[in-house]
Amino acid sequence: MDHEFTMASLNRKLYPEIETVFLMPSDEYAYLSSSAVREIAFYGGDVSPFVTSFVEKKLKEKMEQIKRELYNKSVPVNRINFSSVVFNDFLYD
């Protein structure tokens, strides 16, 4: 939605006589942030509405591995960048 808001603002500056309208899709077709899914999984939330059961299982395994690694390194949880957490290594198992 950030992109659409930016486009509407630019359109307003370039063509003030034109009104920009955008519609929100149903949840089924909406954009899903993989970083948000990883964060939900990391904190033990239910990701089943967002991914297949295979991905859910592998994601839980990966998050447990990451938690163990972070614990061993004493990394504060609030310092984790979920967009950089790699979890696509299991997609082709």
28 has a pLDDT exceeding 80: no
Residue 73 has what pLDDT? Answer: 72
Residues 13 and 39 in one domain: no
Q: Taking the CB of residue 87, how many other CB atoms lie within 10 A of it?
A: 19
Residues 41 and 21 in one domain: no
Domain total in the chain: 2
Q: How far is CA 41 from CA 16, 63, 73, 87, in A?
A: 44, 7, 20, 11
Residues 92 and 51 in one domain: yes
Mean pLDDT of the chain: 79
Q: Name the token pair of 35.
A: 């970083």
Residues 51 and 89 in one domain: yes
Domain that holds residue 26: 1-31
Residues 44 and 82 in one domain: yes
Whole-prediction pTM value? 0.55
User: Helix, strand or coil for residue 78?
Assistant: helix
Residue 27 has what pLDDT? Answer: 77
Residues 89 and 58 in one domain: yes
Residues 56 and 21 in one domain: no
Does residue 41 contact residue 82 with C-beta atoms inside 8 Å?
Answer: no
Residue 39 has what pLDDT? Answer: 87
